[in-house]
Amino acid sequence: MVETVRFNCELCMSMCGMIATVEDGRLVNVIGDREHPASAGYTCSKGRALPERHYGDQRLDFPRLHGERVTWDALLDDAAGRIQQLIAQGGPNSVAGYYATGQAFSGGAYPMLDLLEQLGSNQVYSPMTLDVAPRLRAAELVTGIPFLHPSWFPEEGPTLCVMLGTNPSTSGGWIGSARSNLPQRLRGFQARGGEVWVVDPRRTTSAERADRHVAPRPGTDIFLLAWLLRELLDEGYDAHEVASACDPADVERLRATVAPFTLDVVAARTDLAADDLIELLAAIRRHGKVVVLGGTCLGFQPEGVVAEWLALAIMIVTGSLDVEGGLKYLAADNGMLDGPAWAFHAPEDGSVSPGPASRPDLDGMLGQFPSVTLPDEIESGQVRALIVFGGSPLTSVPDPDRMRAALAKLDVLVVIDPFDVEMTKMATHAMPCAWVTERTSFIHEPLQGIDRSYLSPAVVPPGGERQQSWWIIAQLARRLGKDVLDGLDPDTSDDDTVVRHLARARADFAEEVFAGGSHGAPVPTGIGWVHEKMLPGGRWRLAPRVLLDRLTAALPQESGGLRLVAGRRMKSLNSRVYAQGSDEAPPIGISAAAARDHAITSGDLVRVSSASGAVEGRAEVDAALGDAAVYINHGWLEQNVNRIIDRMPDTLTLQPVFTGIPVTLERVEA
């Protein structure tokens, strides 16, 4: 029997529409769904390899207790019993959860967060403090609301897009830029007069599609942005927006703070040619409105939160946000658009969230503890049980050796993962869960810029003894005397019923989404609603004091020498290779200038060192890299770039600095 099933690939934020062919219950093929309203048939090598990965030999098929195969009942009983004992001894904060990218968009983490809350544990960790924290903090300081972010649609709005620290044609996009089918959509943008600039120390796949590419010295974007703002406040700003939606005192403070960022200073610090800078400024003035599309590597830089704020400030003063012809904001549901004005603004200097007891020097962030402090909490004896849900802390957090030693000290390490990975091998309780092709997902992430929400059905039932994530958490919860399914019985409820039930609580238009299936339904949006009902007093907080001070302090800082560059690659998604082909770590990218200076040729074994440590790997001399750039992709256990990342986070974002840090380079062997 042959049937076809439409579903969404939810590996990255593109959420491409797919059509699966299932023959006698076996997934044999997937192709892009040409009728899909967002992706229009587009897929990438990772999505096309779903069937191979689905049946690949890296799947986790059976529950394991201390490495031995057991029944689910035995595993869940043991885990719950031990957790109960730890809570009795050390209180609910003995149990922590790390929920991460593996199931970031399917809504699968909600039952786990619910369980922690019901247990009374404040031990929540996630890549929020390894990824998006600078963007959230900047939004919070400027709008009072951390989750309020503009979204770019190439088909409408400004005709100039400046990308910094993002490579959406490889990554599939990030907050505010989640874009499937980018190649075609960029061509459409250019056809309607759109101009794309890419600011990236690497000549990326996005740079190749752009009208202009400039390669700054890594970690210096704040200089470029501060100079643009300085010049635009002189000529090129939107007088109406500035007069009506900004505080005049803020505008004056901002002008004064950016005044020292002159063309000479900025050209020297960024290594960019003065002519290129002047042409970029002229382009903004010519187009009037501009999308400053930042990605992870904008906020990953030293002073990344300042960079995020400057990007927002440029869009505010050019009248590019939430106005006709500007960028829109997506709403979480209709209630957010039609309801009363927002009343929960953070104080002007940002909200403060309690930090972990073992690190009195650090705060938390929006109800979570910084991910870098998880080892502190384990070493201090506070955390004794950890539930890892779709994450790989060994490769995503600085100082992996310390992380590994801390994880090994835990009494209970529950790892819920569809694959047999380093974490499931370390787990006391390894719990195999369903993957993309085996579950129903309610994909609803408007606040991350995904402009349609989807109900993606399971293509085939879970293989092996894998279970749905909600089932695993609900069974654990039940044994701990809790209910995370709102009255539904995990023993008798089916996947589709549970997912729809949980979805209704997340969006008031969930039924429309269900009706659309993998084609979904558009999320509510509009123009002017942010000014009208979200901004505190209808005004942007254009010049947050804490950020002005940081910008001023950054002016004299040293930025010479070689610098680490972070960045993703097509075949892998963080620690997992999903596309077909080699599973080996990619080489360390060295610029031609650095190769010459250090007498390195491709294939040499090199060591890259920072103040925090060293990482070794094979070098590849890469003509696409700017002179100061040393490019290392993250996610690899051996060639782990997190060995050279400082585990002391930025005190405002609680996130480490992942790109633009000073490094030295040496050849270990030819």
Instruction: Assess 637 for contact with ligand MGD (CB under 6 A).
Output: no
For Mo ion, the closer CB: 94 or 204: 204
Minimum distance from CB of 446 to ligand SF4 (Å)?
Answer: 17
Q: Which is nearer to ligand SF4, 50 or 115 (CB)?
A: 50
Q: What is the DSSP letter of 618?
A: E
Does 588 sit near ligand SF4 (CB under 6 A)?
no
Contact segment (CB under 5 A) with Mo ion among 49-57, 131-139, 204-212, 358-366 equals 131-139
Q: Is 200 in the site for ligand MGD (CB under 6 A)?
A: yes
Give me 187's structure tokens: 């061509």
Distance of alpha carbon 372 from alpha carbon 127, whole angstroms:
10
Choose among ligand MGD, Mo ion, ligand SF4, none what residue 168 binds, the Cβ cut-off being 5 to 8 Å by kind. ligand MGD
Q: Least distance in Å: CB of 576 to ligand SF4?
A: 11
Question: Does 121 sit near ligand SF4 (CB under 6 A)?
Answer: no
Q: Smallest gap, in angstroms, from Cβ of residue 31 to ligand SF4? A: 11
Q: How many residues at the interface with Mo ion, by CB under 5 A? A: 1
Compare residues 185 and 550 and give the one whose CB is closer to ligand SF4: 185
CA pair distance 390, 101, nearest whole angstrom? 6
d(CA 385, CA 116): 12
Q: Quick check: 10 binds Mo ion (CB under 5 A)?
A: no
Restricting to residues 128-147, name those near ligand MGD by CB under 6 A.
Answer: 130-131
Token duo for residue 10: 């939810």
Q: Are 189 and 631 contacting, i.e. CB atoms less than 8 angstroms apart? A: no
Residue 165 touching ligand MGD (CB under 6 A): yes
166 part of the interface to ligand MGD, by CB under 6 A: yes
Measured between alpha carbons, how far is residue 270 from residues 84, 213, 524 in Å? 55, 14, 40
- Strands 562-565 vs 525-526: parallel, antiparallel or unpaired: unpaired
Who contacts 322 (Cβ-Cβ below 8 Å, separation ≥6)?
Answer: 150, 328, 329, 527, 528, 529, 530, 531
643 — phi, psi (to 5°)? -70, -20
Q: Which contacts (CB < 8 Å, 24+ apart) does range 474-481 have?
A: 474/111, 475/72, 475/76, 476/76, 476/79, 476/80, 476/83, 476/115, 476/414, 477/111, 477/115, 477/118, 479/76, 479/77, 479/79, 479/80, 479/81, 480/80, 480/83, 480/84, 480/115, 480/119
Q: Nearest Cα to 155, choosing from 327, 283, 34? A: 327
172 part of the interface to ligand SF4, by CB under 6 A? yes
Q: Is 458 in the site for ligand MGD (CB under 6 A)?
A: no
Cβ proximity to ligand SF4, 64 vs 576, nearer residue: 576
Among residues 570, 593, 605, 614, which is the contact residue for ligand MGD, using CB under 6 A?
A: 570
Q: Which is nearer to ligand MGD, 221 or 241 (CB)?
A: 221
| DSSP letters for 307-332 | HHHHHHHHHHHTT-BSSTTSBEEE-S
Per partner kind, with CB cut-offs from 5 to 8 A, the member of ligand SF4, ligand MGD, Mo ion, none near residue 14 is ligand SF4
Nearer to ligand MGD, 125 or 329 (CB): 125
Question: What is d(CA 388, CA 427) in angstroms, rounded to the nearest whole number?
Answer: 9
Helix (H) or strand (E) holding 199: strand 195-199
Q: Choose the contact partner of 418 out of ligand MGD, Mo ion, ligand SF4, none; CB within 5 to 8 A by kind.
A: ligand MGD
543 DSSP β-pair partners:
none
Q: Is 270 in the site for ligand MGD (CB under 6 A)?
A: no
Whichever of 285 and 569 has its CB closer to Mo ion, that residue is: 569
Among residues 276 and 417, whose Cβ is nearest to ligand MGD?
A: 417
Yes or no: say if 143 and 540 are a contact pair by the CB < 8 Å rule: yes
Q: Which two tokens stand for residue 608?
A: 């890259």
Task: State which of residues 143, 642, 653, 655 lies at the interface with ligand MGD (CB under 6 A).
Answer: 642
- For residue 178, state whether it binds ligand SF4 (rule: CB under 6 A): no
Stretch that binds ligand SF4, among 6-14, 154-162, 290-298, 308-316 (CB under 6 A): 6-14
Where does this chain touch ligand SF4 (CB under 6 A) — which range of 41-49, 101-109, 212-220, 360-368? 41-49
Contact between 280 and ligand MGD by CB under 6 A: the answer reads: no
Q: Which long-range contacts (CB under 8 A, 24 or more apart) does 31-37 make?
A: 33/6, 33/518, 35/519, 36/518, 36/519, 37/452, 37/519, 37/520
Tokens at 196, concatenated:
């794309």
Is 48 a binding residue for ligand MGD by CB under 6 A? The answer is no
Rounded least distance, CB 166 to ligand MGD, Å: 4
396 binds ligand MGD (CB under 6 A): yes
292 binds ligand MGD (CB under 6 A): no
DSSP code string of 1-62: -EEEEEEE--SSTT--EEEEEEETTEEEEEEE-TT-TTTTT---HHHHTHHHHHSSTTB--S
Pick from 10, 33, 114, 131: which binds Mo ion (CB under 5 A)? 131
For residue 660, give Cα distances in angstroms to 312, 596, 608, 610: 21, 21, 13, 11
* 11 contacts ligand SF4 (rule: CB under 6 A): yes
Give whichever of 174 and 631 is closer to ligand SF4, judged by the CB atom.
174
Half-sphere exposure of 66 (CA within 13 A, CB side): 4
What distance in Å separates the CA atoms of residue 458 and residue 62, rounded to the nearest whole number?
20
Binding mask 435-454 for ligand MGD (x = CB under 6 A): xx------------------
User: Which residue ranges make up the site for ligand MGD (CB under 6 A)?
Assistant: 12, 100-103, 127, 130-131, 164-168, 170-172, 174, 199-202, 204, 216, 218-219, 221, 295-297, 301, 389-393, 395-396, 416-419, 421, 423, 433, 435-436, 469, 565-568, 570, 572-576, 634-635, 641-642, 645, 658-660
User: Which residue ranges make up the site for Mo ion (CB under 5 A)?
Assistant: 131
User: Which residue ranges make up the site for ligand SF4 (CB under 6 A)?
Assistant: 9, 11-12, 14-16, 43-44, 46-47, 172, 180
